[in-house]
Amino acid sequence: MKKGAVLLILGSLLFGFQIQVVNGIYKDVNLSMLKKFSKTVITKSAFDEERHKYTFVFLDKIRNIYCPFSKKITVCAYDDYKVTFTLNELKKKNIIFAFMEDGKPIPIEDKGPAKIIYTRNKNPVKEIFLINKIICD
């Protein structure tokens, strides 16, 4: 059976979410677990030009922890927008999974509960928001 995982973000990250491994096993993930591996960066939003302090985990770190055998990760948004990152991209680019903005969980009204932000020299290059699922293949 193919190894992989689906990270489902249900509602607010404040209350946690589950990673569903393909063989039916679930792993619980919550804000405190993400904070163990988190870093912060101050960068502009791609949308409002204001600088924000984001608490994040590199997307490759999530892959290493929860689906280390995966060769790609697909990030999905509530509006069915999807972006797939290869292992090479994950290792070479600064792709962050931001789950807090200015010290608070990101509400859905502010394009939360999580965002993927590519940064270059602490400036956003691209932003994917309203994330509800991460698929490891």
In three state form, how does the secondary structure of the chain look? Answer: CCCCEEEECCCCHHHCEEEEECCCCEEEECHHHHHHCCEEEEEECCCCCCEEEEEEEEHHHHHHHHCCCCCEEEEEECCCCEEEEEHHHHHHCEEEEEEEECCEECCHHHCCCCEEEEEECCEEEEEECCEEEEEEC
- Residue 25 is predicted with a pLDDT of 56
pTM, to two decimals: 0.81
Q: What are the residue boundaries of the structural domains of the chain, listed by start? A: 5-136
Domain 5-136, CATH among 3.90.420.10, 3.40.50.620, 3.30.70.1450, 3.40.50.720: 3.90.420.10
pLDDT in tens, 35-70: 888 889 888 776 777 888 999 999 898 888 877 888
* Confidence check: pLDDT of 28 > 50: yes
pLDDT in tens, 72-127: 888 888 888 989 999 998 988 789 899 889 998 888 888 888 888 887 766 667 78
- Residue 102 is predicted with a pLDDT of 93
